[in-house]
Structure 1
Amino acid sequence: MPIFDFKCEVCGCSKELLRKISDPIMTECPECHKETFKKQVSAPSFQLTGSGWYVTDFKNKSKDGAKTDTKTETKKDVNTSSTTS
């Protein structure tokens, strides 16, 4: 069963509730008992691992098919030696 974030628009009460998707919509706040309890949008708490996902297979590839490495940067050599005439 997924965990949903809820927040009351009147009293500000916020709760994480374990709810089935088939459960009726919960609108009554458990604190103030008003019909202003709304489901919040939140990030999922799982990570896709293994191959076949965008993050593991396609995220770091350029359009020509070559894999680019975003961790290494190219450094230019800077000549700081001074010449005397």
Structure 2
Amino acid sequence: MGVKATFILDEKIMEQTREYVSKKRVKSLNAFVEKALKEEIAKMKKEEIGAALLEASRDPMFLADLKEIEKDFAHADFEKEKE
């Protein structure tokens, strides 16, 4: 369900946006804004995941857990290599 929102945007941005809407490059102004917001949210989430992975790569406890898992599955990996 949609939620009504009001924004104050740069005039040039609005001109460019309306131009694309009038050229039928996007369904509507609302669709354009929603698409842009979704893309930005996805980008931010990807950046957050990257930052979390970087942080984990510096965490001694996480790295120790990884080594333990590698050790636990070493035999399984060895069996696969034999095939």
By relative contact order (CA 8 Å, sep 6+), the higher-ranking structure is 1
User: Larger helix proportion, structure 1 or 2?
Assistant: 2
User: Larger strand proportion, structure 1 or 2?
Assistant: 1
Question: Do the structures match in fold with TM over 0.5?
Answer: no
Determine which structure has more spread, i.e. the larger CA radius of gyration: 1
TM-score (norm 1): 0.29
TM-score (norm 2): 0.30
